[in-house]
Structure 1
Amino acid sequence: MKLRGKQKRYLRAQAHNMRPLFQVGKEGLTPNWLKQIEDAIEKRELLKINMLQNALVEDDEVVAYIENNSKIQVVQKIGHVFVLYKQADKKEHRTYSLEVAKI
């Protein structure tokens, strides 16, 4: 599902007070790192990741890697912080997706 502008705005507002849960470090982007993010986002639907200064990859590479290798969407990128969203597969974990569907 491709997010519309109002839906992204809602998700950005919800993520405003969140702290980043994951980091992209000098080891870069690995399938194991992405698997951990997918597991976490399945329970939360919305999370932030932070890119460290010593990371060997660029911001655009991180966005492309996440979106090309998973169903996760990058909602926002400010500096080295990314907001990620994916609708949970299990209905009991859906909180944000119910509101996004109404918008």
Structure 2
Amino acid sequence: MDLTGKQRRHLRALGHHLDPIVQLGKAGLTDGVVAAVDAALEQHELVKIRLGTECPDDQSDVADTLAERLNAGVAQLLGRTILLYRRHPKEPKIKLPQGN
């Protein structure tokens, strides 16, 4: 999912006050983590994920892998925090702005 700059800005503003729903620990990115993020995206559309200091995986690799496997867009990658967005197929809660 490709997001425009304007859409990313909008999602970053919405995600600023969110708490991380999923946290990655020393096991890194596992199938269980992917399933948890998938369930969170299904419910919330916009999800903040935190990589713990003991997580062996690179944050940009985790963001890219999650986005690809879950058909989501990376709205922000800031330090060890990832903000992912995936539109709900039937009842979208977030209205994205159009354009660049």
Equivalences for 1:1-103 in 2 at 5 Å? 1-91=1-91, 94-96=92-94, 99-100=95-96, 102-103=97-98
Calculate percent identity across the aligned residue pairs. 31
- 1: distance between equivalents of 2:90 and 2:19? 24
SS class of match (1:26): coil
1:8-47 alpha-carbon deviations (Å, 9 max, x no partner): 1000000011111111110111122101111111111001
Task: Give the gaps of 5 or more residues in structure 2.
Answer: none
Q: Which has the higher contact order (CA 8 A, sep 6+)?
A: 2
Larger fraction in helix: 1
1:42-99 alpha-carbon deviations (Å, 9 max, x no partner): 11100101110011111122112112222011110111111110001232xx111xx2
TM norm structure 1: 0.88
Task: Give the gaps of 5 or more residues in structure 1.
Answer: none
Q: Number of aligned pairs?
A: 98
The two structures, once aligned, show a CA RMSD in angstroms of 1.2
